[in-house]
Amino acid sequence: MVRGVIMYGRARVPGACGELVQGMIDGDYFLITCPINLGSEVRVSLQPGGQVTGPGEKGKALRAVRLTLDHLAAPWGARVDIYNPLPPGKGLASSTADVVAAAVATAEALGTGLSLKTITEIALAVEPSDGTFLPGIVCFDHLQGKRWEYLGQPPPMDVLIVDPGGMVDTVLFNRRRDLVALNLAKEEKVRQAVKLVKEGLARGRADLIARGATISALANQDILSKPELETILELATSRGALGVNTAHSGTVIGILYRPGEVDVDALEASIRTTFPYVDFIRATMVGGGVEGRDGPWFMKGQATAMAGN
């Protein structure tokens, strides 16, 4: 062991079921996070030399390790091991979870820390990122990281994630030339959605959160259509669900409901009767954040104090 260097670090970051809201208001792009209890756990072991090695399909996480080593001027290489049950390209914040957990685990291995601002910069240097590494539910500038706003912790809510298949490349999606015009067209709906979600979080009202998320999901159909959405919404609400949300730049649809109020087996069966090709993931909405080897890295107060930095 080198003095001050622990040699290995471990970190966990939650994934997401899409976003509760995503769009543009007054020219600023943002999303409201929807973290879930599934995510990425990364272990980074330092090794001599400058080479960073790990799973070949996890190039984004490996790049985050390299960026972190460079940021900290650390003359090390690293071996990266990743456990993440969430598939990429779906809108489950799988890559964001990998990238941030990799950066944090690298810093832990070096016996040091990273500010939220630095973590955000590293994540956005790799790709447009979700804000699930920020504590609680947040409103986050996912393209430039210029601002974030802590909105609160979610009330008890479960999410049945429906995956119709396919993949979306987040980087290519955000380069679309028609995005500005399409986001302007839905701005009023997005304002309504934000108001409802913020009120729901402030009052602990799952129904208001779901109502706002549903408005945002439907408003996004002109940007990234999900042909199954309206039918799934009807099937879900007829069986006691509160509403839906979507991955606005991904493939998945989330069904939002209070724990114990929906017969999930029956709901899955009814959806699969109509759409036999879909897959399901059962999850719970949680507050976001970074879990290091010895506990949470950031608390609400730190995130609030740094918002806008």
Tally of CB atoms within 10 A around 230: 13
pLDDT digits (tens, 9 = 90+) for 202-217: 999 999 999 999 999 9
Pairing of strands 28-47, 77-83: antiparallel
Average pLDDT over the chain, rounded to an integer: 91
Residues 149, 194, 208, 274, Cα dihedral to 10°? -120
- Does position 306 have pLDDT exceeding 80, yes or no? no
Residues 272-294 have a mean pLDDT of: 95
17-21, 250-254, 301-305: which has the minimum mean pLDDT? Answer: 301-305
Residue 5: per-residue pLDDT = 59
pLDDT digits (tens, 9 = 90+) for 142-158: 777 678 899 999 999 99
Residues 64-78 have a mean pLDDT of: 96
Q: What is the DSSP letter of 156?
A: S
- Does position 304 have pLDDT exceeding 50, yes or no? no
Residue 200: per-residue pLDDT = 99
- pLDDT grade, residue 298 (50/70/90)? low
Complete domains list, the chain, with CATH: 8-151+287-306 (3.30.230.10), 153-284 (3.30.70.890)
pLDDT digits (tens, 9 = 90+) for 150-209: 999 999 999 999 999 998 876 777 677 788 788 889 999 999 999 999 999 999 999 999
Chain centroid to Cα 201, Å, comes to 18
- pLDDT grade, residue 3 (50/70/90)? low
Buried/exposed code over 30-56 (b: 16+ C-beta within 10 A; e: otherwise): bbbbbbbebbbbbbbbbeeeeebebee
Burial class (CB in 10 A: 0-12, 13-18, 19+), 75: exposed
- Does position 44 have pLDDT exceeding 80, yes or no? yes
